[in-house]
Chain A
């Protein structure tokens, strides 16, 4: 038996078909590798979300097998696109209908902060009315950036205290360990073409 206590699973037994680990680790592993997205595709980022779901980038290999358009059957809401005040109530209502545990990715500049639309009709970031776990910058972010955001979210899910959340009566958000706050993704993903 290993002395270390770690959130991960160890293969302890030599026959390799018995895994002994913490329940938290197992639950987190199952949750993070099957985060079915609810695509709240509002604008142009939805097209890159579709591209991430199509064959070239294939979000399904990260566990997000199907895009479930029903909030009751999904875990992860990816808000892709500009949220205007008229739509804000709709997005919030759909978010409320999702069952715990649920996570949210704000994909793109418009969802994170209003983007380049600083006007009378646009909500300057969906975090004004709903909690966001991962912000992905880009206009639109490349599908690779979305996948990196998903991977970062999966890392974060892997560190949650699932059992404590299920048992305790405390407000749910305080039980998920978010040590450094939401994750912000920005980076260079464009492949370099040979000149």
Chain B
């Protein structure tokens, strides 16, 4: 026998009235942003939980560029791993090379000559300028200011020309070697760099005029993505993101390496911890890098550009081809790798994205037992949920742009 059941049929007007009288909350929507998205710099996926336009929660999902660098490192000699370090933070390859070289040199306990240190400082600061140019360019482009991107890319092309002059490659340079550099700096490098440094501040000023007092840019960045100093330290955020939150900590000042103690420069620190402060930190860091580069170029010492340790550094080709001992050293160095002592060491450098650290555990021999890359972007991205809560989807783009992360480094 059929059972009867009472159904309540309400028309749309009644339903609308009922919804209005309910708590004005509405359904939460899960929106997927990325991994193929123009504004997530690289392949980052952010899962947003939205209430209308407002973000309630944001979970970054990474791993879309995990290439297995750390496992590859266990199978390569220290020198063979240098090209992989280029591709970590691929916006500033020279800086990664420098950090890795110093890490392995710390493990081996060797010190490089002053000329090598000066050249490495120049490389690192050029990389910093290059990375910040793209960071600001991409951030501005995502917010809508396309012109800035094209202007800053023109300056990046000049840095590419400099990289090409010094090591042959525009971009993925692999310039440093353990105990020194691949080759000495050519003679026309410093004049070309000085010419570039003469023109760069004018471009930075132009961008400043376009963006810093621009009402739209300020509206989109002020008080967006605020990260308090306590949160920043607890989350392990480093680099301009930490300094934008007001914590004055720069590895170049706190634990100077590679001769940074000889140069005069300031470290910009923000006050509010929002996107605008991070942008201002990066702009000012570029100007300070110009200052360091001028000093490094003026005080460039002559002399050796490789450490004299024959067991670590490849000897001069002329000697390899004529003398027996150098030939044996060259052979052993290339086939077996440098004979690093057993021990564990951690070295971190102030990369443009933050603190790039290499934690090397060596059991002796030419390949590391474990090479852990402490990537700044990996740690900085953990701050996204904290920064994005309560903002709107459009602000998410500004937050990601101001964090300036790179997925190559984050996923390794």
Asked whether the complex places CB atoms of A and B closer than 8 A, the reply is yes
Question: Chain A: residues with CB nearer than 8 A to chain B?
Answer: 40-44, 46-48, 50-51, 54-56, 69, 81-82, 84, 86-87, 90-91, 94, 116-117, 119-122, 139-140, 142, 190, 193
Q: Are B65 and A87 closer than 8 Å at their CB atoms? A: yes
Question: Chain B: residues with CB nearer than 8 A to chain A?
Answer: 35-38, 42-43, 63-68, 71-72, 83-84, 86-87, 90-91, 134, 149-150, 153-154, 156-157, 160, 164-165, 168, 170-172, 407-408
Smallest beta-carbon distance B65→chain A, Å = 6
**Given A117-B72, A119-B68, A54 and B170 touching (CB < 8 A)?**
no
Q: Are B68 and A47 closer than 8 Å at their CB atoms? A: no
14 further interface pairs, Cβ-Cβ under 8 Å (given A40-B36, A47-B171, A121-B67): A41-B42, A43-B408, A44-B86, A47-B91, A54-B153, A56-B153, A84-B67, A90-B64, A91-B36, A116-B84, A117-B72, A121-B66, A140-B171, A193-B164
By a CB distance below 8 angstroms, the chain B residues around A69 are: 36-38
Q: Are B171 and A84 closer than 8 Å at their CB atoms? A: no
Q: Are B35 and A90 closer than 8 Å at their CB atoms? A: yes
11 pairs from A and B in contact (CB 8 Å cutoff)? A41-B42, A42-B42, A54-B149, A54-B153, A56-B154, A84-B64, A84-B66, A90-B64, A117-B67, A117-B72, A140-B171
Give the complex CA separation of A43 and B252 in angstroms: 28
> Binding site of A, secondary structure by majority: helix, strand, loop or mixed?
loop
Task: Please tell me which one of the listed residues B38, B67, B165 contacts residue A193 in the complex, with CB atoms under 8 A apart.
Answer: B165
Give the complex CA separation of A49 and B105 in angstroms: 35
Q: Are A122 and B68 closer than 8 Å at their CB atoms? A: yes
Q: Are A44 and B172 closer than 8 Å at their CB atoms? A: yes
Smallest beta-carbon distance A163→chain B, Å = 33
Task: Please tell me which one of the listed residues B35, B42, B157, B165 contacts residue A51 in the complex, with CB atoms under 8 A apart.
Answer: B157
By a CB distance below 8 angstroms, the chain A residues around B134 are: 47
Write the chain A residue with the least CB distance to B35.
A90
By a CB distance below 8 angstroms, the chain B residues around A91 are: 36
Q: Are A116 and B83 closer than 8 Å at their CB atoms? A: yes
Task: Please tell me which one of the listed residues A44, A84, A120 contacts residue B90 in the complex, with CB atoms under 8 A apart.
Answer: A44
Smallest beta-carbon distance B4→chain A, Å = 49
By a CB distance below 8 angstroms, the chain B residues around A55 are: 150, 153-154
By a CB distance below 8 angstroms, the chain A residues around B35 are: 87, 90
Q: Are A54 and B157 closer than 8 Å at their CB atoms? A: yes
- Which A-B residue pairs are the 9 nearest by beta carbons? A119-B68, A44-B90, A54-B153, A69-B38, A87-B64, A117-B67, A56-B157, A121-B68, A121-B66
By a CB distance below 8 angstroms, the chain A residues around B149 are: 54
Give the complex CA separation of A119 and B67 in angstroms: 7
Write the chain B residue with the least CB distance to A119.
B68
Smallest beta-carbon distance A49→chain B, Å = 12
Smallest beta-carbon distance A132→chain B, Å = 18
Q: Are A90 and B68 closer than 8 Å at their CB atoms? A: no
Q: Are A140 and B408 closer than 8 Å at their CB atoms? A: no
**Given A69-B37, A120-B68, A140 and B172 touching (CB < 8 A)?**
yes
Residue with the highest number of chain A CB atoms closer than 10 Å, among B165, B170, B171: B171
By a CB distance below 8 angstroms, the chain B residues around A116 are: 83-84
Smallest beta-carbon distance A65→chain B, Å = 13
Q: Are A142 and B64 closer than 8 Å at their CB atoms? A: no
By a CB distance below 8 angstroms, the chain A residues around B408 are: 43-44
Task: Please tell me which one of the listed residues A41, A51, A82 contacts residue B67 in the complex, with CB atoms under 8 A apart.
Answer: A82
Q: Are B153 and A82 closer than 8 Å at their CB atoms? A: no
Q: Are A190 and B168 closer than 8 Å at their CB atoms? A: yes
Q: Are A122 and B67 closer than 8 Å at their CB atoms? A: yes
By a CB distance below 8 angstroms, the chain A residues around B150 are: 54-55
Task: Please tell me which one of the listed residues B160, B172, B407 contacts residue A139 in the complex, with CB atoms under 8 A apart.
Answer: B172
Task: Please tell me which one of the listed residues A43, A48, A54, A140 contacts residue B65 in the complex, with CB atoms under 8 A apart.
Answer: A43
Smallest beta-carbon distance B71→chain A, Å = 6
**Given A41-B42, A42-B42, A139-B172, A54 and B154 touching (CB < 8 A)?**
yes
Q: Are B65 and A120 closer than 8 Å at their CB atoms? A: no
Write the chain B residue with the least CB distance to A85.
B66
Q: Are B65 and A82 closer than 8 Å at their CB atoms? A: yes
By a CB distance below 8 angstroms, the chain B residues around A50 are: 153
By a CB distance below 8 angstroms, the chain A residues around B71 are: 119-120
Write the chain B residue with the least CB distance to A39.
B38
By a CB distance below 8 angstroms, the chain B residues around A94 are: 36
**Given A48-B171, A117-B67, A117-B68, A87 and B43 touching (CB < 8 A)?**
yes
By a CB distance below 8 angstroms, the chain B residues around A90 are: 35-36, 43, 64
